[in-house]
Structure 1
């Protein structure tokens, strides 16, 4: 998995030259998937990158309320990728995703 320090949304965005509209899903999807696979990030979209445990587990205490660094990093990458995805949508396509939540 790429670290968030290696993710530069501006750089990735410049590689996705097609914005999703009503009639170009296959082209947009192919280009976006290719870029994300090249940076080992597509797993965030297809579920093959499983998120790490949110809370630390200590031998003596069990599950704690301390959020793990790995989870924070995973969440940061996810938000960056969401920003990338939103930036590649046409105005019409954006209307379909406004208000959706990332898990």
Structure 2
């Protein structure tokens, strides 16, 4: 992958929010879309594999000389790790402080902010089932339900369209 430093530097201006306790879903959506758009998400999902680290002299010997491809790959990894860190709040940085690779930092962030406990899942399910439209507009009510559904999806709980209809239709006062 030919990723220049200029390209990586330019990405930071596209990521407008810092990861905090209450915005993981929005942050992840924005961060991943930008990285996928620049074709560098492989470093974050673990699919980008490091090239050969050392120069091979012959069939049986390896030297301690790093290959140019490996050195370039490490530069990209460090630049992307720096990019990730700049998008974290001060509280979020503590979860990635010891990470050496972008994939590891992403997993630590995800573990901290996306893995929802059983109690949180039950709370979200209850919130979905008991949500009332009240004085909200239909649009705001539906957005609130979508937000709950999105958080359940992050936790690995799928809410079908049919289940959403069961929740929504009786609560709409038309």
TM-score range relative to shorter protein: 0.7 to 0.9
Q: Is the 8 A contact 2:17 2:87 kept in 1?
A: yes
How many aligned residue pairs are there? 101
Deviation at 1:52, TM superposition (A): 0.6
- Extract unaligned runs of 5+ from structure 2: 102-174
TM-score, structure 2 length as denominator?
A: 0.54
- Extract unaligned runs of 5+ from structure 1: none
Alignment of 1:24-35 (within 5 A): 24-35=23-34
Runs ≥4 residues deviating over 4 A: none
Deviation at 1:36, TM superposition (A): 0.8
Give the structure with higher Rg (CA): 2
Alignment of 1:1-103 (within 5 A): 1-9=1-9, 11-59=10-58, 62-98=61-97, 100-103=98-101
* Alignment RMSD (CA, Å): 1.6
Q: Determine which structure has the larger helix proportion and give its number.
A: 2
Q: Determine which structure has the larger strand proportion and give its number.
A: 1
Instruction: Choose between structure 1 and 2 for higher RCO, CA contacts under 8 A separated by at least 6 residues.
Output: 1
